[in-house]
Amino acid sequence: MNHIAHWIDGLRHAGDPARAQPVYNPATGQVSARVDFADDGVVDAAATAAARAQAEWREVSLARRAEVLFRFRDLVARRSDELACLITTEHGKVLADARGEVKRGLEVADFACGIPHLLKGRFSENVGTDVDSYSIRQPLGVVAGITPFNFPVMVPMWMFPIAIACGNSFILKPSEKDPSPSLRLAELWKEAGLPDGVFNVVQGGREAVEALLRHPAVQAVSFVGSTPVARAVYETGTRAGKRVQALGGAKNHMVVLPDADLGLAADSAVNAAYGSAGERCMAVSVLVAVGDVADRLVPLVRERLDRIHVGAGLEEGIDMGPLITAEHRERVSGYIASGVSEGASLVSDGRGCRVEGHEAGFFLGPTLFDHVRPGMTIYRDEIFGPVLSVVRVGSYGEARDLINRSSFANGVAIFTRDGAVARRFQHEIQVGMVGINVPIPVPVAYYSFGGWKSSLFGDTHMHGEEGVAFYTRAKVVTARWPAPVTTGKDLGFPSG
């Protein structure tokens, strides 16, 4: 049985065996490993090591930090297939999707390699007579990342390359459902030459999270997960005086206007709704069909579902893997039953999905509902599974208002050939990330990722320049280097 430990001060750190929990292979339904669960003592050991290491790391030159980042980035790229296999084995997503996840994480590492440029301040000469002012950005100290199961490599890499490049040390608390990639990343950091203690991993669940939020050495916390937990992390962390960015849940809408390319729209809806079995915070879960377009669009979506091959993610020719746990599969199945009982039209039911040779796996097939109404549970809640709901509206204005009433505001998309309508949509819609004929509008690394409303708690989005701002604090210096003369008595307020 594989044993997944913590990583503290450059070494694997075994915890109490009695506290370890099982890790499953979702495709087989079998236990593949056991992962240690941290208590307060383990978290304190990680924070102590991180604080000690950060005191030295912050003094390392920007050029030297960039060298370490470049080496780490190269190692991750060369080990991308290995990391992808670890993701697929413990998460269940297909191998191609796992490779794409690693690639998107690498994009942020690429961005962080430019840290000498990103940390340039501003300088103003002669703000007063012989007085200059300039700004600098300095690291916070020890920072932590609490990351979800659905992207065990990409989401942590949206956090720690920038945090470390800025001169902080980092404690990662990955999901206990797929923890192995975190240890492999820690080993690659060490191989890249990062000093021991600058990157640490504490495994576990709620107890580890609460310990990080309480620990006085931790100055900032980045979180990605469900909205209720994001709100709790934000409130607890800020109450303890920490800087917090907490990204919550989503209910992403995709609007299709009658003039849209319906083939493109159908392909995009299917790819965005069912990729990674719908376990993406940017998955499309609501298809908003305007006017009479649903009568033409729904059959196109339905026929594409028959072409989706469900199976074990490491096998060739598979498009969609299992859900993460048996409990989550039952939860999603419960939502499907709720949709039927509340009167939605079940066009395709994934509950009967069976994969030969993997009968114990956590599989659920693509599910499609039509005639979904906003009051229904399947519309209101984030299902986080392969379920797509079609809502029919009469006009563009109804579609816009429907989305703007939602408490979630992570991502949204519109499909149309009308540039004026698209421009109006991007202006009027109250959502953090907008796609125009793009179903999953995840920004590239040099722009920032984040939603609005209940999809984000905190003032800054993730990665990009806002990521640099989150992991540093500004300091403004006002300086005078006068000739050795006396200034005389002047008790008035300095005015230049």
Catalytically annotated residues: 281
Helices (H) and strands (E) in the chain, counts: 16, 23
407: enclosing H helix or E strand = none
Contact 320, 286 (CB under 8 A): no
Question: If we measure between CA atoms, which residue out of 371, 375, 329, 366 comes closest to residue 348?
Answer: 366
Rounded CA gap, 351 and 121, in Å?
56
* Alpha-carbon torsion angle 409, 414, 419, 422, nearest 10: -20
Cβ density class 374-401: b for 16+ within 10 Å, e for less: eebebbeebbbbbbbbbbbbeebeebbe
| CA–CA dist 15, 42 (Å, integer) | 8
Per the structure block, which two tokens stand in for 131? 């007085």
- Helix, strand and coil in the chain, % to nearest 5: 40, 25, 35
Determine how many CB atoms are found less than 10 A away from the CB of residue 322.
Answer: 30
Nearest alpha-carbon partner for 83 in 109, 64, 50, 57: 109
CA 221, CA 229: separation in Å to the nearest integer? 13
